[in-house]
Amino acid sequence: MNEFQRAKIVLRILNKTYPKTPIPLKHRNIFTLLISVLLSAQCTDVNVNNVTKNIYPKYNKPDHFVKLGRKKIEKLIKSIGIFRIKAKSIYNLSKTLVEKYNGRVPKTFDELEELPGVGHKTASVVMSQGFGYPAFPIDTHIHRLAQRWGLTNGKSVVQTEKDLKRLFPKKYWNKLHLQIIYYGREYCKARECYGISCKICTSCYPKRKKPIKTKKA
């Protein structure tokens, strides 16, 4: 079985398992989606949603966060990992959006990735989930699963993104990104499946008996 055959199996199982893919990060607009994605680094979506549910009803525009200032932003997000670094990024990117983009989130990868604290993965999520532009955001979980399923050799997240974009038609990218995340959380967990027990792993590698070691991003 080659990687394209495995990709077809993955797509079939994911479409059957998750016909609908709601965005896991709660947000009110594209700006708050950007903030939530930034906050989700080294943190669970559940924790981010628990924190932002008390923030977004009152603060949901770049100028709101500029007026708050770094110290007050820190207090609002202090239960989230590396909150001081994230508060600095939130304040600085909000300031940039107000000064350079009239308070609007830009619609291109290049402009998004120039914002403080915004890397390629964060920009990809915003382009995909915020603007509906075909993108394939790769985090450490998708990187791990793509290796288990024989879709990439796992050298880097950059390589994984290239491989998945090559294997799957562009029209599936946005939904597929979310489907893989949901499937990994429910069925192909890092410390439970090990590449030998979930339906995708057993379908792609029916003869695999030993746990597979994946390369870190």
Chain-centroid distance, C-alpha 20: 17
- Maximum CA extent, the chain: 59
> Which residues have a Cβ under 8 Å from the Cβ of 190 and sit 6 or more positions away?
141, 144, 184
Q: What CA–CA distance (Å, rounded) separates 102 from 95?
A: 10
What is the signed CA dihedral for 114, 158, 170, 2, rounded to 10 degrees?
180
Are residues 36 and 27 in contact, defined by beta-carbon separation less than 8 angstroms? Answer: yes
Which residues carry out catalysis?
Answer: 121, 139
Q: What is the DSSP letter of 170?
A: G
| CA quadruple 147, 150, 155, 159: dihedral sign | negative
